[in-house]
Structure 1
Amino acid sequence: MKMNALGLPIEESKFLVKELNVLLSNFQVYYQNLRGLHWNIKGKRFFDLHVKFEEFYNDSQIKIDLIAERVLTLGGTPLHTFDDYIKNSKLEIGKDISKDVMAVQLIIDSLSHLLKIERTISNLSGEIDDEGTNAMMSDFISEQEKTIWMLNAWMGEEN
């Protein structure tokens, strides 16, 4: 089995890069959705949600950079065109959403989808002892699970 400079199997690392690029694409769509929600939110909860959505998109921007840098670390090339992002993302596009409940539900749904991708990547990286990717996914997962819990609490739902 051929190994890369990190001591990870080359072929499995290539597959991991592909999955990280899927995550990157989904995060880019999530980020853009958050920007739109931030700009377009209306109503009595505007001040709270406007700030919260900015917090979320700033956090997403950091995660996007971390994912792209991990792709590079593993020897791949991060996707970087809107065309690639749309082709590789399964997230709903949040167009013209200005109502608070619809906006928060879109974020919950998006984070739930991101968690599925991250768990897949975590399993794959665990199989090849890629602690760098595994640790990053673990951090993302625990943070996003808590965010979903908080957003569901905001929605008044049990979960």
Structure 2
Amino acid sequence: MSDTNTIGLHEASASQLAEKLNELLANYQIFYMNVRGYHWNVKGRQFFQLHEKFEEFYTDLLTKVDEVAERILTLGHQPVHAYSDYVKLARIQEDKNVHDGEACVRGVLEGYQTLIELQRELLSLASDADDEGTAAQAGDYIREQEKTVWMLGAYLG
């Protein structure tokens, strides 16, 4: 009996990676809903610009939700799919009743910073497991989101 999965990774490593990916998935889902809320509820002088930018962000986040879940499946495991589980697993907290544009941008900035931190943890695990697929995905997300964090910081001054 082999101790590797269908893509050639040791099952113990794949299980550990899937657990971290499920944590990442939970954070993406909570963050996605926060950004949807910012999009719907933002008020103020920058409404039009922020409303449009938040839509860009949540559209990208939704794509990544699907990609992370599919990576979990590729590793031979099941993605969590209940919001009650997301709330328990996520470091990002639900952000309710936020209307002020600057507060919304701060929420987006903090959400991306948390995702980057989690993805760095995932990248380390993936590297240790010789899992190029997960490492590449995490690395791509980090690179993209670091630029977004820089831009959000510049916006906030």
For the aligned pair, the TM-score class normalised by the smaller chain equals over 0.9
List gaps (5 residues or longer) in structure 1: none
Which whole-Å CA distance do the structure 2 matches of 1:39 and 1:5 have between them?
Answer: 43
Which whole-Å CA distance do the structure 1 matches of 2:6 and 2:40 have between them?
Answer: 44
Please state how far the C-alpha of 1:90 moved relative to its aligned partner.
1.2
Q: Answer yes or no: is the 8 Å Cα contact 1:92–1:110 preserved in 2.
A: no
CA RMSD of aligned residues (A): 0.8
1:143-158 alignment, distance < 5 Å:
143-156=144-157
The residue type paired with residue 37 of structure 1 is Y
Q: Which runs of 4+ in 1 moved over 3 A?
A: none
The residue type paired with residue 130 of structure 1 is D
2:106 aligned residue: 105
TM-score by length of 2: 0.97
TM-score by length of 1: 0.96
The residue type paired with residue 35 of structure 1 is R
1:88-99 alignment, distance < 5 Å:
88-99=89-100
Percent of aligned positions that are identical: 43
The residue type paired with residue 104 of structure 1 is V
1:110-125 alignment, distance < 5 Å:
110-125=111-126
Please state how far the C-alpha of 1:131 moved relative to its aligned partner.
0.6
1:58-137 alignment, distance < 5 Å:
58-137=59-138
1:18 aligned residue: 19
Q: How many aligned residue pairs are there?
A: 156
Which whole-Å CA distance do the structure 2 matches of 1:27 and 1:15 have between them?
Answer: 19
1:35 aligned residue: 36
